[in-house]
Structure 1
């Protein structure tokens, strides 16, 4: 059941489409992105966690910008290249715990590598591949 819900969330996000616009005040947006912990959302705006915990993302400045967080079973980290009009995540590394439903975690981490755009709107961070919404987060 939980697996089905996760697939529905990802399918709904893949099908949603939105145009990203270049950021007018990049320093302000960068500060918003870095000062919050972000929680993965579904298309209805409800936080969806794997294994009873929220999937999270936080941006740090350790040796360049990095995204770190909880992916469902393991903690992850990825280098991030954040520019005014785009964002790129490197292939994520993670701890090595084994859990049921590892497919969900692997799908989430794979989606990160496909991201090339973003939008910050209010308390939401939306990550896109071209104009297709892949992931949506809300501030904690």
Structure 2
């Protein structure tokens, strides 16, 4: 009886160790991949519509006490106050060397208008809404008189043409395929200009991040991905590095072209139909 008891204990111990080892070594297989990374045509139709009013301006600012509003267009600048609406031709931005600060100085026969845009968080005094830029506007008549100064908050209006789903077509001058990435699809992303966010698939993992847009500047920021393993991680890593390095863009022929300061078209995406 004693011998049978000892053998039973040994068997239980071996079985328990085997189960524990199985639990601690269980990992997702390297070949596991994300599926259905692109939506169907029906799903794309339900993509969040643009909530921002598109009127052609690329920057807007407002202030209170007194109320005022400013819009920058490619061909004009409009300042609306409680007393008047002032329209001038645009000017080249004067950029500070030690910070993201721009000054525009416009002058007509009747008015001198200065606009300073600082990349400094600003909160609207009445609504509590937070904006990424602090704006100071000053103007006076060219014949003299008192200079009026307004302070408020503003933001750039991200190009509405970016609001879509984009599929990678070329990287660093070479066509791409899902086989070289080792996943079910090539990298793709959905850009939402309502909240300046993007999400998608980087070739193996899901990705998400923010959009920094400032006129002719477009950057993909705070890029985060899941941590799944795939057969060819180098290709995904190269894509993410290239995406992070892009700073300029253009949209033509249903394609999104990304470039940086030294190289053009480092990534080319095609609009998903």
Would you say same fold, with TM above 0.5?
Answer: yes
Unaligned runs of 5+ residues in structure 2 are 1-55, 59-156
Which residue number in structure 2 is paired with residue 39 of structure 1?
167
Choose 1 or 2 for highest CA Rg: 2
Which residue number in structure 2 is paired with residue 121 of structure 1?
252
2:241 to 110, 117, 126: 110
Q: 1:64-100 CA distances to partner (integer Å, 9 max, x unpaired)?
A: 3112111111010121112221111124101111111
Partners of 2:193 and 2:258 in 1: CA distance: 20
Give SS of 1:98's match: coil
Report whether the alignment pairs 1:65 with 2:199: no
Unaligned runs of 5+ residues in structure 1 are 1-24
TM-score by length of 2: 0.38
Partners of 2:222 and 2:234 in 1: CA distance: 16
Which structure is higher in strand share? 2
Q: 1:118 to 1:138 in 2, by over 3 A?
A: same
Q: 1:117 to 1:100 in 2, by over 3 A?
A: same
Q: 4+ runs of 1 displaced by more than 4 Å?
A: 25-29
CA RMSD of aligned residues (A): 2.4
Tell me how many residue pairs correspond in the alignment: 113
Q: 1:107, CA displacement in angstroms? A: 0.9
Q: Which has the higher contact order (CA 8 A, sep 6+)?
A: 1
Q: 1:134, CA displacement in angstroms? A: 1.0
Contact 1:39 1:47 in 2 (8 A): no
Give SS of 1:110's match: helix
